Amino acid sequence: MNEPVFIAGTGIISAIGNNVAACLDALQNSRAGMGPMKYLRSAHQQRLPVAEVKLSNEELAALAGLPAVKSRTALLSLVAAKEALSRSGITDVKAWRTGFISANSVGGMDKTENFFNQFLADNRKGRLRDVINHECGSVTELAADALGIKDYISTISTACSSSANSIFLGARLIKNGILDVVVAGGTDSLTRFTLNGFNTLMIVDEQFCQPFDEHRRGLNLGEGAGYVVLVSDKVAATLPDKPGITLSGYCNANDAYHQTASSPEGTGSYLAMSGALKKSGLQPSDIDYINLHGTGTQNNDIAEGTAIKRLFGPHFPKMSSTKTFTGHTLGASGGIEAVFSVMALEHSIVFPNLRLQTPMKDLPFVPVTEVQQNVEMKHVLSNSFGFGGNCSSLIFSKV
């Protein structure tokens, strides 16, 4: 139960790059991924910027090795998960008890929307193959089959904390001796349903988002996938390069305040962060960098900021929201930001909180606004807070 869980590999695809190296280059050079919609067809095409992956379904399918008729969510998942396994040094998933735990919130909805456009116009039309993989679990199973993982497959859908919950479920399965290797994280593609839903809540920014700015207007939606390969100490010892980063802490909490809003006091955020610290055996002063949930909405940023003020004050670690690069990728965000947190530790980099112009007057700290290189870091905290008050925090640590 007390043996460490190592991060053996990472994989990612997002609006700023199609793999780990490309995303790192964009983060180091402050290149954000938002822009006009190219692949998503929407009535808001000219009004709302999004952070799309810069590949068509056909191009994604070529990378993933799946037919382009599969959902974009599944294609993104497989691209990132394959990279994570490739970078882990594990050449045969069948040699170990291996699991695939993947999160998403839209499933194959991108295809379902296309079906109903045709079907509603004429009930003799519409391709049924567009709806066969609609539900969230189907996306996970498609990727797991392609990866050859059969020992344990599970899907988590807890809104924006989904991927973080996938990762720490994987860690718990390893710590309890149930699995040896887990590919964990999440994926989500942009759909009209989610864009329209968030727009109805009036929390989508018509400009590029400005998390933790006094004049923030809302979030930009994004898409992508991010996975880490979690391994036991036994597996880590067999790899060509023994991993140097562990998942040292994790916690999920729920403030049960509102269906779509965090409590103003940040109760769920505070419980998740403090619980992760307790699990890791660390003190607040041990955290060197916080990857903020930082969506850019009025509610999220003050709730998260208030919790950070309560837990870390008066001495605050460096922090930033990388959603200023990728947009809010919903069910994928915890996985993508877990990869960024591992990058920060591996390369001693603090990523910038782009476009922050006026610090929030109610908070006693200001996120980092420029890239910081050669920063001594041993522990990184990553926050993922979802609808319904479902809040999760992960801590990654250098060995």
User: Mind listing the domains of the chain with CATH numbers?
Assistant: 6-236 (3.40.47.10), 247-398 (3.40.47.10)
* Options 251, 293, 379, 391, the catalytic residue: 293
**Contact in structure between 288 and 341 (CB atoms under 8 Å):** no
Q: Which residues sit opposite 319 in a β-bridge?
A: 290
- H/E element holding 224? strand 224-231
Contacts of 121 (CB under 8 A, 6+ apart): none
Identify the pLDDT of residue 368: 98
**Contact in structure between 166 and 186 (CB atoms under 8 Å):** yes
Query: Is 380 in a helix, a strand, or coil?
Result: strand
Identify the pLDDT of residue 194: 96
Residue 274, φ and ψ in degrees, nearest 5: -65, -35
Half-sphere exposure of 24 (CA within 13 A, CB side): 16
Instruction: Write out the chain's pLDDT in tens, 399 residues.
Output: 678 999 999 999 999 999 999 999 999 999 999 999 999 999 999 999 999 999 999 999 999 998 877 899 999 999 999 999 999 999 999 999 999 999 999 999 999 998 888 888 888 888 888 888 899 999 999 999 999 999 999 999 999 999 999 999 999 999 999 999 999 999 999 999 999 999 999 999 999 999 999 999 999 999 999 999 999 999 999 999 889 999 999 999 988 877 767 788 889 999 999 999 999 999 999 999 999 999 999 999 999 999 999 999 999 999 999 999 999 999 999 999 999 999 999 999 999 999 999 999 999 999 999 999 999 999 999 999 987 789 999 999 999
Identify the pLDDT of residue 130: 81
User: Starting from the edge strand earliest in sequence, which strands make up the sheet with 245-254, in order?
Assistant: 152-156, 98-103, 181-188, 224-231, 6-13, 245-254, 390-398, 379-385, 289-291, 318-320
d(CA 389, CA 382): 17
* Options 23, 136, 160, 251, the catalytic residue: 160
Note if 44 is an active site residue.
Answer: no
* Options 209, 328, 379, 391, the catalytic residue: 328
- What are the tokens at 60? 């994604």
Tell me the Ramachandran region of residue 85: left when phi exceeds 0, alpha when psi lies from -120 to 50, beta otherwise. alpha
Identify the pLDDT of residue 1: 66
Note if 293 is an active site residue.
Answer: yes
Identify the pLDDT of residue 263: 80
Note if 328 is an active site residue.
Answer: yes
